[in-house]
Amino acid sequence: WAKSSSSSHHYRLYLDGITLPSPGTHCNWTTWLGGLYHWTLRLPSRCGTRDYNPKQMAIREKVFNTIIGCFKRHGAETIDTPVFELKETLTGKYGEDSKLIYDLKDQGGELLSLRYDLTVPFARYLAMNKISNIKRYHIAKVYRRDNPAMTRGRYREFYQCDFDIAGQYDPMIPDAECLKIVHEILSELELGDFRIKVNDRRILDGMFAVCGVPDDKFRTICSTVDKLDKMSWEDVRSEMVKEKGLSEEAADQIGQYVSMQGGKDLAERLLQDAKMSQSKQACAGLTDMKLLFSYLELFQVTDKVVFDLSLARGLDYYTGVIYEAILTQNGPAPEAGEKGEEGVSVGSVAGGGRYDGLVGMFDPKGRKVPCVGVSIGIERVFSILEQKASAEKVRTTETQVMVASAQKNLLEERLKLTAELWNAGIKAEVMYKKNPKLLSQLQHCEDSGIPLVAILGEQELKDGVVKLRDVHSREEADVLRAELVEEIKKRIADV
Amino acid sequence: WAKSSSSSHHYRLYLDGITLPSPGTHCNWTTWLGGLYHWTLRLPSRCGTRDYNPKQMAIREKVFNTIIGCFKRHGAETIDTPVFELKETLTGKYGEDSKLIYDLKDQGGELLSLRYDLTVPFARYLAMNKISNIKRYHIAKVYRRDNPAMTRGRYREFYQCDFDIAGQYDPMIPDAECLKIVHEILSELELGDFRIKVNDRRILDGMFAVCGVPDDKFRTICSTVDKLDKMSWEDVRSEMVKEKGLSEEAADQIGQYVSMQGGKDLAERLLQDAKMSQSKQACAGLTDMKLLFSYLELFQVTDKVVFDLSLARGLDYYTGVIYEAILTQNGPAPEAGEKGEEGVSVGSVAGGGRYDGLVGMFDPKGRKVPCVGVSIGIERVFSILEQKASAEKVRTTETQVMVASAQKNLLEERLKLTAELWNAGIKAEVMYKKNPKLLSQLQHCEDSGIPLVAILGEQELKDGVVKLRDVHSREEADVLRAELVEEIKKRIADV
């Protein structure tokens, strides 16, 4: 690193403000530059960014189409917000994670930071525009300055796909729809079997209270519980007791609860639980949990949903139901101790919950707008589908026909026919060579999966036809030029 | 500003690292916060960023579909690059505009800058991955720290839609396709009549040479000529003479040439021109210009294309053909002196050219990859289409049917039917209320343009039917529940 960064400095100082030399005089320049670039040409690697190549983009487009299709099926609108916000807008929303926020250099004007998630900008948007209900999705990149030391194949720039329902409604109906959406998307993406853990911040807080956790320790104990998906109970317990100074009794009582998993039945049982039932908060959460499951039954998704008292979620702004979807098989195995983009173990592919207080924080009058939402851990989905696709061939273009010729001096005719096809809405390519070999034109079709070739020759031009070749079957047929467009559309539809 | 920023400072210091108080104890907090936010809640306004609301997003989606459809019709793949690059990657590529680059705060690690355009990252990508030919499009946001004083309704965060063809090909064929693409897109978007100005850096440089401009003044004189679209010749001339120290004779000779406009014929005339013909560069450019027009004739786009010797383009990296599309009517009138996102007058909606030297700058061995491309000035297109749409109603969702009921206590039945429709791929909405009024359910359909309502009642449930209502005609018909999905699909197809 020392070498590379020192040469990159040298390079920067040297080139500052220079302009490209006028054409012709390049070569010596570029060779000279090459020497330096040899060290410096790279992406901001330690910042965990990456390029997407055409194959990755083709996969990404499929995934987005599936996800956006689901969001639209549920009647969502979409919005967009700037990539940077006022630094103060992000301040105090992410608890311990605030240190991961990217700041822009102060070049005059306001202090700016790159968005850390899409939820806080959404809340800012609602308050700023006095919107009291909306169902919206937002797909965009967010940025986190994760400690390079802990970065393991994790990106500092990554997509989030958020779906949120804002508004004052009857309890648990929008919450249930969010879970239905997770169920639909994960099923459609065919990532293998999955489970959706559900819990409620009020149940956690109530549990902490009845277990004798001091109020001021709720959040910190909560983030320790959050580690149960990658730490043993023993380790979690000792962190609570030794690091966070919780009493052993309290820790052990928590231990009994957080081991519990179930469904509606568990919620009912805990409502009868001698200790739990003492907490109003817990009872409110448990009653809603029962209601949530009754809606999930109507949506026929209870097969994948588990009420899990160990689910805590890191972020501070959750106030009610929280959930997290994890893959139970397939895909690359999550590295131990690994945390993914939603701040949960990488086994996780979606997470979210209810945050009724966030919008009020941005409203001059503290006007509250209850919100519930879900974020799809899309980068994890990409990497799984990329792995699956690594073997097979993925088309990166949609070209339907290649306009070719076997003889020389037909460039003009090829260009004319290609333009005819473009103007008719046909996806067509032509080689940028005066006299390309027919073989290389056919080879290009094989390589990029173009199904048809329209071949022109002196004879075809005389006869007013085009030789239409099926790349796969290699069959050729003369088609009247006037009927070519219709014939191509027919052939494509048949495929 | 003083007041707001001081309170925002106070606010930031005060809140740093705090977390949301646990639920229930909010209210006092939020009112207190409200007092401060009353001053601080806003977008980074002086940085010219903006939110897109659902209506704007609906328009944006249409525009992108048109543009991407055209790019795909021409067989393009797509890639994506990170929003920030190493600062050194951008250094020395933009000439005088380099001062507009946004830097990230140095929080350890490399020095980073937000991308200024999509062309330099594309060149970096090609060199880094040793790609010698590709036809790709890239649609993403870029960032420019424009001097607030000169900002007039211009954004510091804006989209670019770039299409580029990289590779060693026979002259002018890819160049002609780029112009064909501009012609197709501007025609499809129906922005009103337009013209595409074309010139060539080699013709400009040759012209400067034969007019007696010293080599070291080429670029600076070039950027003065670039101002001809918004300054009179007199002002341009005096800038050349007084500020740039050019001789009056040279200026006047340039004046004769830059007033010339035409087509193939003009290129032929200038090839015979006593002075011009002395410059090898100019002749090369003029010969290619003739060839370009012959291809444009085959593409049937010469009606909109003008060979204009006053077209210069600001950026340094162009080495051959350059072009720029301007709207000749409609749309908001460009403000005098205004420069748009491509660094050209806002009348401009597309611009581009050939840059054969850029990739070589990033290649260790200086290996050259000739490139030609075009960038669509999409923000200008948005604002024009937004203005057009300001009156009419634009749908922001695609919901096909609303699941409603006229009677109480049918929430469960509504949820069940809605899930059936979702699972059948129907875009459906249901109100998140236990007992919504039928009128409010119908009103929502009117407001958001939902064409159908599926109404449930005790009777319908008994009869195993659903009352399907056409929102527009208000006609209602009982449909067997088993046939509902098919009937809805039929009705939607008919619309």
DSSP code of residue A378? H
How sure is the predictor about A47, in pLDDT bands with cuts at 50, 70 and 90?
low
| Range A481-485 average pLDDT | 96
pLDDT tens, residue by residue, A156-195: 889 999 999 999 999 999 999 999 999 999 999 999 999 9
Verify whether the Cβ–Cβ distance A84 to B157 is below 8 Å: yes
Measured CA distances, B97 to A165, A422, A470, A485, B118 (Å)? 43, 37, 51, 47, 15
Verify whether the Cβ–Cβ distance A75 to B429 is below 8 Å: yes
pLDDT on residue A340: 41
Question: Between vectors from CA A268 to CA A263 and to CA A272, what angle results, nearest 5°?
Answer: 145
Measured CA distances, A426 to A6, A58, A399, A482, B470 (Å)? 52, 20, 8, 14, 36
Query: CA–CA separation, A87 vs B388, rounded Å?
Result: 35
Q: Which of A23, A31, A362 sits opposite B41 (nearest CB)?
A: A362
Position A61 pLDDT exceeds 90: yes
How sure is the predictor about B123, in pLDDT bands with cuts at 50, 70 and 90?
very high
Verify whether the Cβ–Cβ distance B128 to A317 is below 8 Å: no
Chosen for mutation from B38, B361, B379, B430 (greatest number of chain A CBs closer than 10 Å) is B361
Q: Which residues of B are annotated as a binding site for L-histidine?
A: 117-119, 144, 160, 164, 313, 317-318
How sure is the predictor about A44, in pLDDT bands with cuts at 50, 70 and 90?
low
The average confidence (pLDDT) of chain A is 86
pLDDT tens, residue by residue, B194-236: 999 999 999 999 999 999 999 999 988 998 998 888 899 999 9
How sure is the predictor about B338, in pLDDT bands with cuts at 50, 70 and 90?
very low
| Range A460-489 average pLDDT | 96
Position A87 pLDDT exceeds 80: yes
Q: Which residue has the tokens 């160990």?
A: A310
The sign of the CA dihedral B75, B80, B86, B87 is: positive
In 3D space, the residue among A449, A380, A324 whose CA is nearest the CA of residue A60 turns out to be A380
Both tokens assigned to A21: 């030399």
pLDDT on residue A13: 27
- The neighbour count for residue B34, using CB atoms within 10 Å, is 19
pLDDT on residue A18: 33
Q: Which of A22, A54, A412 sits opposite B205 (nearest CB)?
A: A22
How sure is the predictor about B78, in pLDDT bands with cuts at 50, 70 and 90?
very high
The average confidence (pLDDT) of chain B is 86
Position A388 pLDDT exceeds 90: no
Chosen for mutation from B29, B78, B114 (greatest number of chain A CBs closer than 10 Å) is B78
Chosen for mutation from A15, A52, A110 (greatest number of chain B CBs closer than 10 Å) is A110
Return the H-helix or E-strand segment holding A162.
strand A157-166
pLDDT on residue B366: 86
pLDDT tens, residue by residue, B163-173: 999 999 999 99
Question: Between vectors from CA A21 to CA A18 and to CA A26, what angle results, nearest 5°?
Answer: 125
Position B4 pLDDT exceeds 80: no
Query: CA–CA separation, A79 vs A69, rounded Å?
Result: 16
In 3D space, the residue among B112, B195, B23 whose CA is nearest the CA of residue A43 turns out to be B112
User: What is the pTM (predicted TM-score) of this model?
Assistant: 0.86
How sure is the predictor about B80, in pLDDT bands with cuts at 50, 70 and 90?
very high
Query: CA–CA separation, A95 vs A219, rounded Å?
Result: 9
Query: CA–CA separation, B100 vs B122, rounded Å?
Result: 19
Across B463-475, b (16+ Cβ under 10 Å) vs e yields eebbbbbebeeee
Q: Which of B34, B109, B428 sits opposite A366 (nearest CB)?
A: B34
Question: B37 and A363 in contact (C-beta within 8 Å)?
Answer: yes
Verify whether the Cβ–Cβ distance A167 to B57 is below 8 Å: no
Position A229 pLDDT exceeds 70: yes
Query: Residue B292 contacts by C-beta under 8 Å, 6 or more apart in sequence?
Result: B172, B175, B176, B179, B198, B321
Question: Between vectors from CA A312 to CA A311 and to CA A316, what angle results, nearest 5°?
Answer: 155
pLDDT on residue B11: 30
Q: Which of A20, A34, A174 sits opposite B363 (nearest CB)?
A: A34
| Range B330-342 average pLDDT | 44
| Range A276-305 average pLDDT | 97
pLDDT on residue B47: 53
pLDDT on residue A383: 87
Above pLDDT 90, what percent of chain A? 69
pLDDT on residue A45: 53
| Range A120-140 average pLDDT | 96
Q: Which residues of A are annotated as a binding site for L-histidine?
A: 117-119, 144, 160, 164, 313, 317-318
Q: Which residues of B are annotated as a binding site?
A: 117-119, 144, 160, 164, 313, 317-318
Q: Which of B12, B19, B20 sits opposite A88 (nearest CB)?
A: B12
How sure is the predictor about B12, in pLDDT bands with cuts at 50, 70 and 90?
very low
Query: CA–CA separation, B168 vs A279, rounded Å?
Result: 74
Separation in Å, CA of B486 to nearest CA in chain A: 16
Position A420 pLDDT exceeds 80: yes
Separation in Å, CA of B249 to nearest CA in chain A: 24
| Range B291-310 average pLDDT | 97
| Range B121-150 average pLDDT | 88
Residue B113 forms beta bridges with which residues?
B85, B103
Q: Which of A287-291, B2-6, B443-447 has the lowest mean pLDDT?
A: B2-6
Question: B146 and B154 in contact (C-beta within 8 Å)?
Answer: yes
Separation in Å, CA of A456 to nearest CA in chain B: 16
| Range A456-466 average pLDDT | 96
Nearest chain B Cα to A34, which residue? B364
pLDDT tens, residue by residue, A198-222: 999 999 999 999 999 999 999 889 9
Question: A395 and B77 in contact (C-beta within 8 Å)?
Answer: no
Chosen for mutation from B15, B18, B22 (greatest number of chain A CBs closer than 10 Å) is B22
| SS3 state of residue A48 | coil
Query: CA–CA separation, A347 vs A229, rounded Å?
Result: 9
Identity of the residue numbered A399: T
In 3D space, the residue among B306, B350, B307 whose CA is nearest the CA of residue B327 turns out to be B350
Question: B160 and B116 in contact (C-beta within 8 Å)?
Answer: no
Nearest chain B Cα to A8, which residue? B88
Question: A198 and A289 in contact (C-beta within 8 Å)?
Answer: yes
Strand order of the sheet with strand B401-405? B428-430, B401-405, B452-456, B465-470, B476-480
In 3D space, the residue among B203, B77, B332, B229 whose CA is nearest the CA of residue A51 turns out to be B77
Nearest chain A Cα to B360, which residue? A30
Taking contacts as CB-CB distances below 8 angstroms, the residues of chain A near B202 are: 23
Verify whether the Cβ–Cβ distance B104 to A109 is below 8 Å: no
